[in-house]
C-alpha cells in the first residue's frame, strides 16, 4: 500500500513538473510576442498596408482592447508569410478563417478551429510541393514520390490532429446588423513543427500500406 501511495505521489510531482515547464514556455513565448508588439508600434507601416487597414476599418472591423492595431497586425502577417528556410519551406505555415457566432468568444473559437483545418491543408500543399521539387532534382524516385504525395494528400485530418499550439498573428471582429459577431483570424505555425506533424501523419499512412520510406521522408523534410 505504501509503495502505491509513493508511486502516486511521484506521478503527481512529475505531472506538476511538466505543467510548470509548459507554463514557463508559454510565458516565454508571450513575452517575446509582447516585445515584438512594442517594437512594431514604434515603426510606420507601408502605404499599401495602411490603405488595406483603412478599408477594413471602414467595413466595420476592429480589434479587441489591448491588441495591436489592424495595420500593425497586417504588416506582421505579411512579413511572416515571406520567411523561408534553407529548403524554401515556409518558416511559418499560415492560414486564416472567418466565422460568425452569437458572441465574440463563440465566433473566435469556430474561426480558430476552421483556421487549424485550413492550416493542415496548407501543410499538405507545401509538403507536396517539396516532394515535386525533390523529384525534379532527382533526389527521390518518381515511384517513391508518388507514394509519399498520395499519403500526404490523404492525411489532412491526421495532420490537423497533430498540430500543437499556434500563434494568432491577425485577429479582428465586427458586429453585424443581425447582432451576431463575425471574427476573422490568421494563425501561424512553426515550419519545423509543421514538418514534424506532416511526417507523423505520412508515416502512419505509409505503415498502414506496408511501405517503408522512413529514410526518404527524413531526407525530404530535412530531419
Q: pLDDT confidence of 74, banded at 50, 70, 90?
A: very high
d(CA 179, CA 177): 5
Task: Please say whether the dihedral angle defined by the alpha carbons of residues 200, 202, 204 and 210, taken in this order, is positive or negative.
Answer: negative
Q: pLDDT confidence of 34, banded at 50, 70, 90?
A: low
Ordered structural domains, the chain, with CATH: 44-221 (3.10.129)
Q: In this predicted structure, what is the pLDDT of residue 221? A: 72
Q: In this predicted structure, what is the pLDDT of residue 32? A: 54
DSSP class of 28: H
Query: Do 114 and 97 meet the contact criterion of CB atoms below 8 Å apart?
Result: yes
Has residue 82 got a pLDDT over 70?
yes
Identify the residue whose cell numbers are 487549424.
116
d(CA 166, CA 29): 11
Query: Do 131 and 145 meet the contact criterion of CB atoms below 8 Å apart?
Result: yes
Task: Output 177 or 221, whichever has higher pLDDT.
Answer: 177
Average pLDDT over residues 44-49: 83
Angle between helices 104-136 and 142-153 (to 10 degrees): 170
Between CA 130 and CA 138, with CA 135 as vertex, the angle to 5 degrees is 130
Average pLDDT value over all residues in the chain: 79
Query: Do 115 and 188 meet the contact criterion of CB atoms below 8 Å apart?
Result: no
Q: pLDDT confidence of 131, banded at 50, 70, 90?
A: confident
Report which of 64, 62, 67, 63 is spatially closest to residue 33, judged by C-alpha positions: 67
Q: In this predicted structure, what is the pLDDT of residue 41? A: 47
How does pLDDT run across 158-206, given as a tens digit for each residue? 888 888 889 999 999 999 999 999 999 999 999 999 988 888 888 777 7
Average pLDDT over residues 121-136: 81
Average pLDDT over residues 80-104: 92
Q: pLDDT confidence of 144, banded at 50, 70, 90?
A: confident
Q: Which residues contact 186 (CB under 8 A, 6 or more apart)?
A: 77, 94, 95, 96, 115, 168, 169, 170, 171
Q: In this predicted structure, what is the pLDDT of residue 139? A: 66
Q: In this predicted structure, what is the pLDDT of residue 209? A: 66
Report which of 187, 182, 185 is spatially closest to residue 60, judged by C-alpha positions: 182
Task: Output 211 or 38, whichever has higher pLDDT.
Answer: 211
Amino acid at each position: 500500500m505504501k509503495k502505491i501511495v509513493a508511486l502516486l505521489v511521484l506521478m503527481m510531482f512529475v505531472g506538476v513538473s511538466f505543467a510548470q515547464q509548459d507554463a514557463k514556455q508559454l510565458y516565454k513565448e508571450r513575452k517575446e510576442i509582447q516585445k515584438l508588439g512594442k517594437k512594431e508600434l514604434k515603426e510606420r507601416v507601408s502605404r499599401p498596408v495602411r490603405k488595406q487597414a483603412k478599408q477594413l476599418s471602414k467595413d466595420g472591423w476592429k480589434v479587441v482592447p489591448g491588441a495591436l492595431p489592424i495595420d500593425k497586425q497586417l504588416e506582421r502577417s505579411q512579413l511572416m508569410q515571406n520567411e523561408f528556410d534553407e529548403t524554401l519551406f515556409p518558416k511559418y505555415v499560415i492560414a486564416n478563417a472567418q466565422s460568425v457566432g452569437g458572441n465574440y468568444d463563440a465566433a473566435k473559437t469556430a474561426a480558430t478551429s476552421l483556421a487549424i483545418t485550413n492550416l493542415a491543408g496548407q501543410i499538405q500543399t507545401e509538403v507536396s510541393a517539396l516532394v515535386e521539387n525533390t523529384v525534379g532534382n532527382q533526389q527521390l524516385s518518381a515511384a517513391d514520390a508518388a507514394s509519399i504525395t498520395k499519403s500526404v494528400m490523404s492525411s489532412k485530418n491526421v495532420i490537423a490532429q497533430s498540430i500543437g499550439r499556434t500563434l494568432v498573428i491577425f485577429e479582428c471582429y465586427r458586429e453585424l446588423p443581425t447582432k451576431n459577431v463575425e471574427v476573422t483570424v490568421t494563425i501561424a505555425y512553426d515550419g519545423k513543427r509543421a514538418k514534424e506533424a506532416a511526417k507523423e501523419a505520412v508515416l502512419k499512412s505509409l505503415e498502414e500500406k506496408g511501405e517503408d520510406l522512413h529514410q526518404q521522408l527524413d531526407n525530404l523534410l530535412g530531419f
